[in-house]
Amino acid sequence: MSNPQLIEELRWQLKQIEERRAENQRLLSGTSPDRVVTVVAGPGGGVREVRLAPEAMRLDAAALGRAITTAIREATGAPQQPLRRRTAGEDDEPYDTVFDV
């Protein structure tokens, strides 16, 4: 391979690396729908940074929690699964015995 070809090949590889880095940056950050929370996650999905806009301080605790959770899921690629509310008296362990009443 001649020097001009080698230089051109190296430029192409550098461009590919830059495009992948930009894509990774985009894939590893998430923002809540109202844009008050932004989360940056590392390559393994661990949360590295949580940024709150000043407007986030006006949210109640439940709304802020939902915004943070949504941004984390977007940043880490976690599936959006609806939470199932537990009913009163519902146990974690299934019963082994059925009693006739």
- pLDDT at position 66 is 95
Q: What is the pLDDT of residues 38-72, one digit of tens each?
A: 999 887 788 989 999 999 999 999 999 999 999 99
Structural domain containing residue 7: 3-76
Mean of the per-residue pLDDT values for the chain? 82
CATH code assigned at 72: 3.30.1310.10
d(CA 42, CA 55): 25
Evaluate whether residue 91 is within a structural domain.
no
What is the pTM assigned to this prediction? 0.54
Residue 7 Cα to chain centre, angstroms: 38
By CB atoms closer than 10 A (0-12, 13-18, 19+), residue 32 is buried
Evaluate whether residue 22 is within a structural domain.
yes
- pLDDT at position 92 is 56
- Count the domains in the chain: 1
